[in-house]
Amino acid sequence: MLGVRFERRPDPSPLLVFAVSLAAILAALLVTGVLFALQGVDPVAGFATILQRTILDPRGSSEVVRKSIPLLLAGVGIVLALRARFWNIGAEGQILAGAVAASGVALFLPVPPALMVPTMFLAGFIAGAAWGFLPAILKVRLGVNEIITTLMLNYVALYIVRWLINGPWRGDSVTGFSYSDRFPEYAWLPTIGTTRLHWPTLLIGLVLALLLAFVLFRTRLGFEIRMMGESPEAARYAGVDFFWTTIALVCVAAGAAGIAGVGEVAGIHQRLLEPTSISLGYGYTAIIVALLARGNPLATIVTALFMGLVFASGDIMKVSLRLPSQMPSVINGLVLLFLVCSEPLLRYRLVRRGGGPKRRVAKAN
């Protein structure tokens, strides 16, 4: 078909990887510009307004960073799991699990005020990890497809949160909207100045990215993880323990997403509320963050900031440009679409049929 065929490209150069990722983002932004124009907004002026109110404005840039926190935490986890060929589509559910655990601790556990925040982070990590443990063990033990199980668990978590805020955890003073009581003040995360930037969560995210990059590229465990993803057969031959390595990886990954959930409830809302308000789809966008980072935990710091910018620009688009609230979701979808379609450029090169060095091999089939 088409007179061309695919030939495997063994090892794409970092430059090519960067160029292709950048091209995918630019293509997505180009289409976004067209959508701006279709809705009567001058694309150039539109993008200029967005940049002005996000990156160049202190308040706006703090919002960009704030929205990139859950993306960084969940994204680093997904990068790590992807390294071991575990597709974690369940960050959304793991974020919610972390939020639930933190809320439970804040609302009901008699913890001394000084220990409250650390306990909440710990509980959030464990809950997130537990939400990843099940798909992990089902995959390594029974070969159950983790994409479907993690996806299904997202909805299980979503309905559990809804049940909690409508039922047993519904606040005493609540009328109309459903949410829990407000956490005691010592369970709130501190923020920088007058911004809503809850810095402990940001710090955990940054440290985690650094730590995991170190583990991945500088330790024996990291070597084994990379081997698992790149050549499972060789890894098996070398005696890598797939079972425990996968379980541990996924639990850390999911636990990181759980911490993101803690940040959202303890750092911003100070209560458990409607699941779509806790996570604005961070778990799904974290997949884009991870794919753009191409397996490098450090790169997620950059890619999370970029997607955080997309989220933050959503508010600007709505308020300043009078564009519909669905724009960020459209941009997310476009970035992901262009990213997935450009992926083959990295893995294969096009060779004209009838030419190229592998002609005889192809004919032999």
Work out whether 336 is an interface residue with another protein (CB under 8 A). Answer: yes
Q: Is 8 helix (H, G, I), strand (E, B) or coil?
A: strand
Q: Which stretch binds another protein (CB under 8 A): 18-26, 231-239, 260-268, 281-289?
A: 281-289
Nearest Cα to Cα of residue 277 among 184, 190, 118, 162: 162
Would you give the binding string for another protein spanning residues 287-326, x where CB under 8 A is met? x---x--------------------------------xxx
Residue type at position 250: V
Among 148, 192, 203, 234, which residue interacts with another protein (rule: CB under 8 A)?
A: 148
Q: Is 6 helix (H, G, I), strand (E, B) or coil?
A: strand
For another protein, which is the closer residue by CB, 259 or 287?
287
Work out whether 282 is an interface residue with another protein (CB under 8 A). Answer: no
For another protein, which is the closer residue by CB, 110 or 143?
143
Long-range contacts of residues 297-300, Cβ cutoff 8 Å, at least 24 apart: 297/76, 297/79, 297/80, 297/208, 297/209, 297/210, 297/212, 297/213, 297/216, 298/209, 298/210, 298/213, 300/72, 300/75, 300/76, 300/79, 300/209
CB of 303 to another protein, least distance (A): 15
Work out whether 284 is an interface residue with another protein (CB under 8 A). Answer: yes
Work out whether 166 is an interface residue with another protein (CB under 8 A). Answer: yes
* Residue 30: other Cβ atoms inside 10 A: 13
Work out whether 199 is an interface residue with another protein (CB under 8 A). Answer: no
Work out whether 337 is an interface residue with another protein (CB under 8 A). Answer: yes
Among 85, 162, 170, 349, which residue interacts with another protein (rule: CB under 8 A)?
A: 162
Work out whether 155 is an interface residue with another protein (CB under 8 A). Answer: yes
- What span, in angstroms and rounded, lies between the C-alpha atoms of 331 and 43? 14
Q: Provide the strand spans (E) within the chain.
A: 4-8, 348-352
Residues 81-100 contacting another protein, CB under 8 A: 87, 89
Buried b (16+ CB within 10 A) or exposed e, 118-146: ebbbbbbbbbbbbbbbbbbbbbbeeeeeb
Which residues are near another protein by CB under 8 A? Answer: 1, 6, 8, 35, 87, 89, 138, 142-145, 147-149, 151-153, 155-156, 158-160, 162-163, 166-167, 281, 284, 287, 291, 324-334, 336-337, 339-341, 343-344, 347-348, 361-362, 364-365
